[in-house]
Amino acid sequence: MSIAMANEAPGAFQGTLTDKLKEQFDAGLLSGQELRPDFTIAQPVHRYTSIDHAIWRKLYERQAEMLRGRVSDEFLQGLATLGMEKDRVPDFDQLNETLMRATGWQVVAVPGLVPDEVFFEHLANRRFPASWWMRKPEQLDYLQEPDCFHDVFGHVPLLINPVFADYMEAYGKGGLKAAGLGALDMLSRLYWYTVEFGLIRTPQGLRIYGAGIVSSQGESIYSLDSASPNRIGFEVRRIMRTRYRIDTFQKTYFVIDSFEQLFDATRPDFAPLYEALRAQPTLGAGDIAEGDLVLNAGTREGWADTEDI
């Protein structure tokens, strides 16, 4: 595995946490620290070590450099508006002053991945749960669970954008609804292929906006430059049928034309859609389907032949 993103699969564990995730969650909870009923904690800012700050600085520098000309303008604008710390792990309260004023969003600290319903409830109320802890030096390029760099550097800048901010809130509400309809598998694919691994088409060319790519050095290059993956025009129904990878770079990236397109396409009631799609077979992560707007048909070079999720 050579990827450098924090993977998370909302919907992969329904309601309760699996043993492994529970273990990771507990590891992120400091002894004596109060876990609130909504699974948040006060960000333990005094617990960051000089190593934590150095890792933040290193990753920040590396990605800021890497992303020039690769990431969407909206992301860069968000980063600038937030005035996000470069040299040390940001204080969430400080970020929230700007964020709250801009779009009413806030970042809240959590020990690790929280149960689906808790996650959706936060998003529905414009709170983004972020892991407080930083990855270890030996995890610079890859770790499986989302750490503070992925959550804060990757996800928070776009929350400054009014349209994307509305999309995330709508997603949270949609998640609560999908949970009740037993449709989290389909809705999670939408999150995966947009919020985590989305690309956007601009007059200057393709750009990254997905947080899983933004926080990964390797995938920042691969997603845009490699001939291996498919790049296909964004389509809600198509995405909801498409399985994905949590252990390798994506085999397919879906490309939006604007955040308005993303918001508008996800506005309709999904209940009938879930119903209809349930009857259809899912697609593999690397499949190309009839009706796809294919921007790049991947060469499939280097694709793992293990199961997609």
Q: Which long-range contacts (CB under 8 A, 24 or more apart) does 116-119 make?
A: 116/10, 116/11, 116/13, 116/14, 116/15, 116/175, 116/179, 116/184, 117/15, 117/175, 117/176, 117/179, 118/38, 118/39, 119/10, 119/172, 119/175
CB of residue 194 vs ligand PHE: minimum separation in angstroms? 8
> Is 53 part of any known ligand binding site?
no
CB of residue 268 vs Fe ion: minimum separation in angstroms? 25
DSSP string, 70-91: TB-HHHHHHHHHHT--SSSPPP
CB of residue 171 vs ligand PHE: minimum separation in angstroms? 4
Residue 211, contacted partner among Fe ion, ligand PHE, none, CB below 5-8 A by kind = Fe ion
Whole-number Å distance between alpha carbons of 53 and 276: 49
Q: Look at residue 244 and give its three-state secondary structure.
A: coil
The smaller minimum CB distance to ligand PHE, of residues 92 and 197, is found at: 197
CB of residue 11 vs ligand PHE: minimum separation in angstroms? 12
The smaller minimum CB distance to Fe ion, of residues 211 and 256, is found at: 211
The smaller minimum CB distance to Fe ion, of residues 8 and 52, is found at: 8
In the bound complex, which residue of the shown chain has the CB atom lying closest to ligand PHE? 174
CB of residue 272 vs Fe ion: minimum separation in angstroms? 29
Reported residue count of the chain is: 309
CA torsion sign for 188, 255, 249, 137 is negative
> Is 150 part of any known ligand binding site?
yes
Q: Look at residue 246 and give its three-state secondary structure.
A: coil
Q: Among 55, 211, 236, 262, which residue interacts with Fe ion (rule: CB under 5 A)? A: 211
Question: Order of strands across the sheet with 230-233?
Answer: 205-208, 199-202, 252-256, 230-233, 294-296
Confirm or reject binding of residue 266 to ligand PHE (CB under 6 A). yes
Residue 181, contacted partner among Fe ion, ligand PHE, none, CB below 5-8 A by kind = none
H-run or E-run covering 21? helix 19-27
Residues 181-220 within binding reach of ligand PHE (CB under 6 A): 190
> Is 122 part of any known ligand binding site?
no
Residue 201, contacted partner among Fe ion, ligand PHE, none, CB below 5-8 A by kind = none
Residue 74, contacted partner among ligand PHE, Fe ion, none, CB below 5-8 A by kind = none
Question: What count of Cα atoms within 13 Å lies in the side-chain half-sphere of residue 247?
Answer: 8
Residue 288, contacted partner among ligand PHE, Fe ion, none, CB below 5-8 A by kind = none
CB of residue 181 vs ligand PHE: minimum separation in angstroms? 8
Closest of 309, 239, 250 to residue 280, by C-alpha: 239
Q: Among 11, 28, 154, 174, which residue interacts with ligand PHE (rule: CB under 6 A)? A: 174
Confirm or reject binding of residue 146 to ligand PHE (CB under 6 A). no
The smaller minimum CB distance to Fe ion, of residues 131 and 252, is found at: 131
